[in-house]
């Protein structure tokens, strides 16, 4: 049960972080500081890393909580 709550809390932090980086990239694109291809690459990388961490997080927390208990 503690692993579930830790996963949910960390997942919310990851979602907030990915959203914030996407907003920053959108602002940079609208000001012309980032090209369209760099913007796409940035969005794809941020979302991919966020999803990968979000998917692997429950397994990591499960291992940590079972190791220390």
User: Please, are residues 65 and 4 in contact by the beta-carbon 8 Å criterion?
Assistant: no
Give 6-15 pLDDT, tens digit per residue: 888 999 999 9
Give 21-68 pLDDT, tens digit per residue: 999 999 999 999 999 999 999 999 999 999 999 999 888 888 888 888
The 3-state secondary structure of 8-63 reads: HHHHHHHHHHHHHHHHHHHHHHHCCCCCHHHHHHHHHHHHHHHHHHHHHHHHHHHH
pTM, full prediction: 0.82
pLDDT at 58: 86
pLDDT at 37: 96
pLDDT at 50: 92
């Amino acid at each position: 049960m503690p692993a579930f709550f830790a996963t949910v809390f960390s997942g919310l932090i990851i979602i907030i972080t990915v959203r914030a980086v996407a907003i920053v990239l959108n602002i940079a694109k609208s000001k012309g500081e980032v090209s369209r291809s760099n913007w796409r690459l940035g969005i794809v990388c941020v979302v991919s890393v966020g999803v990968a961490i979000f998917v692997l997080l429950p397994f990591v927390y499960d291992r940590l909580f079972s190791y220390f208990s």
